[in-house]
Amino acid sequence: MTRLPDSFYQRDVLEVAPELLGKRIVHNISKPQQEYMITEVEAYRGEEDLACHASKGRTKRTEIMYHQGGFVYVYLIYGMYWMMNIVTGDKGNPQAVLIRGVKGISGPGRLGKVLQLDKSYYGEHLVTSPRIWLATADDCPDYRVTPRINIDSAGVPWINKPWRYILNNI
């Protein structure tokens, strides 16, 4: 299993998101290093996507999404859960994939807890970081799609976009 290169992330989020299914999150903060198979993700695509944090424009919080793909975007929700996101696409085009679940762990909040995420992960470069990165897998994943979760306030058409990807036969 090898670390995913820059080129993997530097494509449109709708292309990258489903390909993240089955890939491994490698977490190297204690030994042995841990690996988690990604089972569920959601795509957030550009300023026009009202469910995407970048719909508020470029701010200190969304800044990282304006970078080229391959960086980690973390943020705190409800005052207690750190969400794990992967920046994708080209520089200047804010996109990210929210990792909603990995094998054995469901829910983005739980994942953040397991990975011990905090503010220090903001902007971590997955291609060079010594503590977290993504690795290839030899699976050929079979998945299904649904609308994204808990983004009602984004309204139509965004609440209807089938941008949540879930691995079958987990």
Partner DNA sequence: GGCACGATGTGA
Partner DNA sequence: CACATCGTGCCG
- Rounded CA-CA distance 12/66 in Å is 13
Chain positions 105 to 124 lying near DNA, rule: CB under 7 A, are 106-111
| Contact by Cβ (8 Å): 137, 24 | yes
Minimum CB–partner distance for residue 2 and DNA (Å): 26
Choices 27-35, 78-86, 130-138, 139-147 (CB under 7 A): range interacting with DNA: 78-86
Residue 20: strand pairing partners: none
53 binds DNA (CB under 7 A): yes
Which H helix or E strand runs over 57?
none
Cβ proximity to DNA, 33 vs 150, nearer residue: 150
98 binds DNA (CB under 7 A): yes
Torsion sign, CA atoms 114, 29, 164, 119: positive
42 binds DNA (CB under 7 A): yes
81 binds DNA (CB under 7 A): yes
Q: Which amino acid, residue 40? A: E
